[in-house]
Amino acid sequence: MNTSTSNLFHIYKTGRLTVIGFEGKHLENPLFADSVRDQLLGMIRHHDCEVLVVDLMDVGLISSWILGVLTAIKQSGIDIELYHPSKEIQHVLDVTQLSSYLHVRGSE
C-alpha cells in the first residue's frame, strides 16, 4: 500500500479511487477547515479522483465542518464513501440524513 502523509490527513492510494484517512485531532478544530478543503480539492484535481474513500477508523468524533467539506466535495461530482465510522459518527450521519447522501460502509 502506498502511504504518504500530508500534515492534515493520510493518503493511502491515489487515482480515480483515492483513499485517505484522518487523525482525529485535526477534525475537532474548525481552524483546519480551509486547509483540509484546499488540500483535498487539490489532490482530487491532481489525481483525477472520481471516488474519495475516507477511512474513519481512527476517528471517534467528527465536527460538522468536516461533514460540510465532504458534502461540498460530493456536490462537485465526486462520490464519497465513508468507511468504519464509530457508533457516534454513524448516529450523526443518520440524524443529519447524510448516511443516505454519502455512502457509508463498515459501520459498527
Cβ within 8 Å of residue 34, ≥6 positions away:
none
| pLDDT score at 17 | 97
Per residue in 83-92, pLDDT (tens digit) is 999 999 999 9
What is the span of the domain harbouring residue 97?
Answer: 4-105
Distances in whole angstroms, Cα of residue 39 to Cα of each of 5, 13, 34, 55, 105:
12, 15, 8, 17, 24
Distance between CA 51 and CA 68 in Å, rounded? 17
Distance between CA 37 and CA 2 in Å, rounded? 22
- CATH number of the structural domain spanning residue 67: 3.30.750.24
Distance between CA 85 and CA 61 in Å, rounded? 9
* Count of structural domains, the chain: 1
Lookup result for grid cell 485531532: 25
Per residue in 47-70, pLDDT (tens digit) is 999 999 999 987 887 888 889 999
